[in-house]
């Protein structure tokens, strides 16, 4: 057995990954057939000259040349914050950021002006927002090239009054990492808070942080740009339906390695499992958020080993981690989610999402994840999660009154509030797809197959009788 292990190790150390030469994201391979991409590289300074009384006037000007783009955008997840429609218990449902509950800032309803400062539109201040009005599309947040465009954090997506609309409009061009980072790297209230694999270190990363962006020159759009402004990649709304996925194999192929033994792992182990050995490698990410301790104005805030605060009077206790080893689970591309109004047993930890897939599912692979844990409010009589009103003059962040914040927030989603609340421990699983390390940092055999000790993978938890090098894999 030791001889077999040594042979396997030697083969792994000889891994070579085939780099696709025709990937459209590689510098020099961006084809002119993508007319819209070509157009956004043009000098717009003469086209966008003039004065703009409102940001919507800029959008009208854009649409005078880019006819029909508004109709395309208004069909996207990026605009609607909803994934594809699916059926559950006989009902047609769409799930997404618009109506999902997480264990960071909890939920959008009743908190629209604060949450929608990261929407690609203007004026989503309440539930009456018109998703069919293309003039409220914010072209500038994705296409500004001055680096000066910003939205008011509490302004329902409206630009900061200091923004020079003419200057920004004249600068527009193809989206960059910086454009995407404004919202996607700062989810949950700051860099790295929500996504362990997307933070400020990814704006201009070294190849050690992310080999695609730091060495090859990819931008976010290199992988995520679809046709007609559709953004590819499965967020939580898409995970519920198992749709809109992109994967490494889309470019690298199903058998990208030079060694057969490594390619044979691809049926069971996701590329990210070996090629992203850790996340949050430069900046810490939040891994615990306890809302139950918020409101203590006498609490002294301490900085942890990473210089991050352990407490915020508005939000409660935090824990941060850096250079985090992912948690590994089976996943077939779909997940079940907690829906607003679902009841649960508060004596147990509540899973806000549960991945589909197991060792017997041939479509599932072992993937890496960040698991966010914390405590958040629930209705202790009705036994479902509370959507509290946090933002605004009558929100918790002003009143520090969970009872009134709960009553107002639940009224907004048309669910009864019993007048009794408590706090329940929750956990939520977040995919890890970015921060792909250079090949020299890729996991080697002994990271998982460690003789006499447990490696990264808990074989029993994954459904194996033991290390499959000894007991055999799932495919006979």
Quote the pLDDT of residue 430: 98
Cβ–Cβ under 8 Å, residues 8 and 451:
no
- The pLDDT of residue 158 is above 50: yes
Q: How far is CA 69 from CA 66, 133, 290, 404, in A?
A: 6, 12, 42, 43
Element (H, E) at 426: strand 421-431
Tell me how many degrees the CA angle 302-386-429 measures, rounded to the nearest 5: 65
Quote the pLDDT of residue 452: 67
Q: How confident is the model at residue 29 (pLDDT cuts 50, 70, 90)?
A: very low
- Per-residue pLDDT of 50-82, as tens digits, reads 899 999 999 999 999 999 999 999 999 999 999
The stretch 35-54 carries a mean pLDDT of: 74
The stretch 25-37 carries a mean pLDDT of: 39
Q: How far is CA 378 from CA 325, 346, 358, 406, in A?
A: 31, 9, 30, 9
Q: How confident is the model at residue 47 (pLDDT cuts 50, 70, 90)?
A: confident
Cβ–Cβ under 8 Å, residues 372 and 103:
yes
- The pLDDT of residue 39 is above 60: no
d(CA 333, CA 380) in angstroms, rounded, equals 33
In which residue are the tokens 């929100």 written? Answer: 395
Task: Extract the tokens encoding 185.
Answer: 């790297």
Could you tell me what percent of the chain has a pLDDT over 70? Answer: 91
Quote the pLDDT of residue 41: 66
Quote the pLDDT of residue 399: 98
The stretch 430-447 carries a mean pLDDT of: 95
Q: How confident is the model at residue 49 (pLDDT cuts 50, 70, 90)?
A: confident
d(CA 159, CA 334) in angstroms, rounded, equals 36
Quote the pLDDT of residue 2: 39
Give the closest residue to 120 by CA, choosing from 77, 91, 160, 162: 77
Would the CA dihedral through 340, 344, 350, 354 be positive or negative?
negative
In which residue are the tokens 């996207």 written? Answer: 76
- The pLDDT of residue 36 is above 60: no
d(CA 357, CA 365) in angstroms, rounded, equals 8
Greater confidence (303 vs 22) lies with 303
- The pLDDT of residue 151 is above 90: yes
- Per-residue pLDDT of 164-194, as tens digits, reads 999 999 999 999 999 999 999 999 999 999 9
Q: How confident is the model at residue 455 (pLDDT cuts 50, 70, 90)?
A: confident
Could you tell me what percent of the chain has a pLDDT over 90? Answer: 86
Mean pLDDT across the chain:
91
In which residue are the tokens 């989206």 written? Answer: 175
Quote the pLDDT of residue 45: 86
- Per-residue pLDDT of 317-366, as tens digits, reads 999 999 999 999 999 999 999 999 999 999 999 999 999 999 999 999 99
Greater confidence (10 vs 71) lies with 71
Q: How many residues does the chain have?
A: 476
- The pLDDT of residue 99 is above 60: yes
- The pLDDT of residue 6 is above 60: no
Q: How confident is the model at residue 24 (pLDDT cuts 50, 70, 90)?
A: very low
- The pLDDT of residue 258 is above 50: yes
DSSP-assigned letters across all residues of 367-414: EEEEEEEEEEEEETTTTEE-----SSTTSHHHH--HHHHHHHHHHHTT
């Amino acid at each position: 057995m030791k001889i077999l292990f040594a042979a396997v190790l030697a083969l792994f150390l000889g891994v070579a990954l085939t780099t696709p030469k025709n990937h459209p994201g590689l510098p020099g391979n961006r084809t002119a057939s993508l007319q819209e991409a070509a157009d956004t590289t043009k000098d717009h300074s003469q086209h966008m000259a003039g004065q703009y009384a409102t940001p919507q006037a800029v959008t009208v000007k854009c649409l005078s040349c880019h006819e029909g783009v508004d109709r395309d955008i208004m069909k996207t997840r990026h605009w609607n914050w909803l994934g594809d429609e699916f059926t559950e218990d006989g009902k047609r449902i769409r799930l997404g950021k618009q109506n999902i509950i997480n264990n960071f800032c909890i939920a959008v309803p009743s908190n629209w002006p604060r949450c929608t400062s990261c929407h690609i539109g203007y004026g989503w201040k309440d539930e009456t927002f018109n998703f069919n009005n293309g003039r409220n599309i914010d072209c500038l947040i994705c296409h500004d090239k001055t680096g000066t465009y910003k939205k008011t954090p509490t302004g329902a997506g409206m630009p900061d009054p200091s923004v020079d609309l003419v200057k920004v409009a004249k600068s527009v061009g193809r989206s960059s990492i910086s454009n995407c980072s404004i919202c996607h790297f700062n989810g949950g209230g700051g860099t790295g808070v929500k996504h362990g694999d997307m933070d400020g270190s990814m704006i201009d990363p070294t190849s050690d942080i992310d080999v695609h962006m730091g060495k090859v020159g990819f931008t976010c759009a290199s992988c995520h740009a679809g046709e007609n402004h559709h953004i590819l990649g499965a967020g939580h709304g898409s995970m519920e339906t198992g749709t809109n996925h992109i994967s490494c194999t889309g470019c690298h192929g199903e058998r990208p390695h030079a060694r057969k033994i490594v390619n044979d792992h691809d049926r069971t182990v996701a590329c990210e499992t070996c090629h992203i050995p850790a996340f949050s490698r430069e900046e810490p990410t939040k891994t615990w958020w306890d809302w139950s301790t918020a409101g203590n104005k006498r609490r002294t805030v301490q900085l942890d080993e990473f210089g991050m605060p352990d407490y915020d009077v508005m939000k409660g206790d935090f824990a941060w981690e850096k250079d985090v080893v992912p948690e590994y689970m089976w996943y077939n591309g779909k997940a079940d989610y907690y829906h607003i109004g679902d009841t649960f047993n508060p004596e147990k930890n509540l899973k806000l999402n549960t991945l589909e897939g197991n060792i017997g599912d041939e479509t599932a692979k072992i993937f890496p994840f960040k698991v966010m844990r914390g405590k958040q409010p629930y209705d202790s009589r009705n036994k479902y999660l509370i959507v509290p009103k946090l933002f605004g003059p009558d929100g918790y962040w002003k009143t520090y009154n969970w009872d009134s914040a709960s009553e107002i927030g639940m009224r907004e989603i048309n669910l009864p509030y019993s007048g009794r609340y408590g706090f329940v421990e929750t956990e939520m699983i977040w995919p890890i797809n970015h921060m792909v390390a250079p090949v020299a940092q890729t996991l080697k055999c002994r990271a998982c197959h460690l003789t006499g000790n447990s490696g990264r993978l808990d074989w029993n938890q994954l459904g194996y009788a033991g290390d499959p090098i000894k007991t055999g894999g799932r495919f006979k």
